[in-house]
A = this chain, B = another copy of it.
Amino acid sequence: MKSQKTRFETIIQKLRDNGHKITPQRIAIVKIIAKSIGHPSVEDIYHQIKIDFPTMSLATVYRNIVLIKSLGEVLELGFPDGSNRYDGNKPYPHPHVICIKCKKIVDPDLDSLDNMTKEVEEETNFKILNHRLDFFGICSNCLAKKV
């Protein structure tokens, strides 16, 4: 059985490799980013850390996200209302399914996407580098408890 590095270890290693110091604040941020449970916002990350780390500053969260983004280890999901959510667990482009009621974000498995990229390249003559695919809807949970 091959030992597999966790996302947390991978990101910390990459920070080290690029000459960045590993501070407690940074560790706390990477820990959350690496899991990205529910795809947290900056505020989510900030508040979560603030519990154990009362001096943590919002600026530090922002700075570290910019840094980790620049290393390609976190995916930023911006929405029209200006909110941003982060995914450091799967930092490569992949589809998201977003519940418009409870804001939960889920990752579906879709395989038809590669074909689509080719289709687009052929039709538009673009060299496609990247994509973003979101589905918006209502999750089974919120559907059930519709008041």
Binding site for B on A (CB under 8 A): 76-82, 84, 95, 97, 99-100, 106, 108-110, 112-113, 115-117, 119-121, 123-140, 143
Contact = CB atoms under 8 A, between A and B. Distances in A.
Dominant SS at the A interface?
Answer: mixed
Contacts of A80: 76-78, 84
A136 B140 contact: no
Closest 10 CB pairs of A and B: A78-B80, A128-B137, A125-B140, A130-B136, A126-B137, A132-B134, A131-B135, A76-B80, A127-B138, A129-B137
A131 B130 contact: no
B110 A126 contact: no
Contacts of A82: 78, 82
Contacts of A106: 124, 126
A99 B126 contact: yes
Contacts of A115: 112
